Amino acid sequence: MEVRFESMVFLWDDKIPTMFLEFMNLLTLCQSEEQLRASVKDFAEKHELDK
């Protein structure tokens, strides 16, 4: 699988590039919908995204 980014997100925080790549890895490595849902939930909790 080839993943290509056409444009990068705005870097208003130093954590964004690392979080973005971690999230892309999470999306590409999940093998089932259940695993994807659990991984996204864990990612959101880890980075406090749902506050």
Per-residue pLDDT tens digits for 1-51: 787 777 666 677 788 888 888 999 999 999 999 999 999 999 999 999 876
Q: Do residues 1 and 29 lie in contact, with contact meaning Cβ atoms separated by under 8 Å?
A: no
Structure-block tokens of residue 33: 């919908």
pLDDT at 8: 64
Q: For tokens 């444009």, what's the residue?
A: 7
pLDDT at 4: 74
Per-residue pLDDT tens digits for 16-30: 888 888 999 999 999
Q: Say how far apart CA 7 and CA 9 lie, in whole Å.
A: 7
